[in-house]
């Protein structure tokens, strides 16, 4: 077992993965409020936009406007902003918009990749290599995210060997990080451990990040399993919002405040302000017009701070 980190990084994906599947499309100024609040709560890395076909993902149609507004507000001085891309066209758009990082996604399932990007895995890999070359020339960090790493809504089980081969390709292309995404939330702690150990052996020099969805209430357990095996970077969204427009039932990400609570109780530093995360999740709940799934948002931390003790108290008859 790899040594566990005494601090973890929580990468906020509320404004991208969190919002992309919502029925309510937040206007650009509301997205900037969300991103600003996430930064106030401690987020240092955020995925804020998706440079994809706006007809396919209408919630991300204002990607350039979001980046322009962030620059106008001077927020890049406070955090690093990533843009998600699926091909070279998206890469060009993201660079022109002034992102700090690129997140290039390839699905480990052929059917899902065709549904999500309109291309085969082989075609997407060719686009990735071109984008990675551009990233090296532009000296911009690039993450390769391998999606549907634990299962596909169309094909079922996904072979771990396919995930590992895609990760090796990313490492060979010089990415600065490899993210493993449980896009539809079917992973379990044992599978997470097995894949993490296999990846450590296959791509030992590249940092790993995990992206868990809580579709089946295994997100926190999976994050714990990855941490136990040396992973120190995790995606999460405030209030647990999120999902994939191309996979029915792929509900939200692990809630940022839930990860903060769990790791903080374990004595692992997160750099996050739990109370501020909860306040932002409640603001987001109001902005979206529906209840969010996060239990920690409702229940709060423990022990409760003096400021929030009353709201978290239970009345015992």
> Over the stretch 264-283, which tens digit does the pLDDT of each residue have?
999 999 999 999 999 999 99
- At 247 the pLDDT is 72
Q: Which of 81, 101, 77 is nearest to 91 (CA)?
A: 101
The residue annotated as part of the active site, out of 125, 152, 244, 314, is 244
- At 249 the pLDDT is 67
In our burial notation (b when 16+ CB lie closer than 10 A, e otherwise), range 134-166 reads bbeeeebbbbbbbbbbbbbbeeeebebebbbbb
Integer angstrom CA distances of residue 179 from 146, 237, 257, 280: 6, 16, 20, 26
The position carrying tokens 């029915």 is: 248
Residues in the chain predicted with pLDDT less than 50, given as ranges, are 308-310, 313-316
The position carrying tokens 């809580």 is: 214
- At 251 the pLDDT is 80
- At 315 the pLDDT is 43
- pTM metric for this prediction: 0.94
The CA angle 12-146-179, to the nearest 5 degrees, is: 40
- At 264 the pLDDT is 97
- At 314 the pLDDT is 46
244 part of the active site: yes
Q: How far apart are CA 129 and CA 133, in angstroms?
A: 6
- At 1 the pLDDT is 61
Q: How far apart are CA 208 and CA 187, in angstroms?
A: 17
Domains and CATH numbers, the chain: 9-312 (3.20.20.70)
């Amino acid at each position: 077992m790899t040594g566990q980190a005494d601090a973890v990084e929580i990468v906020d994906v509320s404004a991208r993965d969190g919002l992309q599947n919502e029925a309510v499309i937040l206007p650009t100024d509301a997205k900037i409020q969300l991103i600003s609040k996430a930064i106030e709560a401690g987020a240092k890395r955020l995925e804020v936009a998706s440079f994809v076909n706006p007809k396919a993902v209408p919630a991300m149609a204002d990607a350039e406007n979001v980046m322009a507004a962030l620059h106008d507000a001077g927020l890049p001085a406070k955090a690093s902003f990533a843009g998600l891309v699926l091909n070279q066209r998206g890469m060009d758009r993201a660079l022109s918009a002034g992102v700090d990082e690129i997140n290039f996604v390839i699905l480990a399932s052929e059917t899902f990749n065709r549904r999500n990007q309109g291309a085969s895995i082989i075609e997407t890999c060719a686009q990735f290599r071109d984008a990675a070359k551009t990233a090296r020339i532009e000296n911009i960090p690039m993450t390769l995210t391998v999606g549907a790493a634990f299962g596909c809504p169309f094909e079922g089980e996904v072979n771990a060997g396919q995930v590992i081969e895609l990760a090796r390709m990313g490492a060979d292309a010089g990415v600065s990080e490899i993210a493993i995404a449980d896009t539809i939330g079917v992973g379990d702690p044992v599978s997470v451990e097995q894949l993490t150990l296999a990846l450590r052996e296959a791509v030992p020099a590249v940092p790993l990040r995990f992206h868990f969805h809580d579709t089946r209430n295994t997100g926190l357990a999976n994050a714990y399993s990855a941490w136990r095996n040396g992973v120190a970077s995790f995606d999460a969204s405030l209030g647990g919002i999120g999902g994939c427009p191309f996979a029915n039932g792929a509900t939200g990400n692990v809630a940022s405040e839930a990860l903060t609570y769990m790791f903080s109780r374990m004595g692992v530093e997160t750099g996050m302000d739990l109370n501020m995360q909860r306040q932002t999740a409640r603001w987001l709940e109001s902005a979206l017009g529906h209840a969010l799934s996060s239990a920690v948002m409702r229940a709060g931390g423990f022990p409760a701070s003096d400021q929030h003790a009353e709201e978290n108290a239970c009345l015992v008859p």
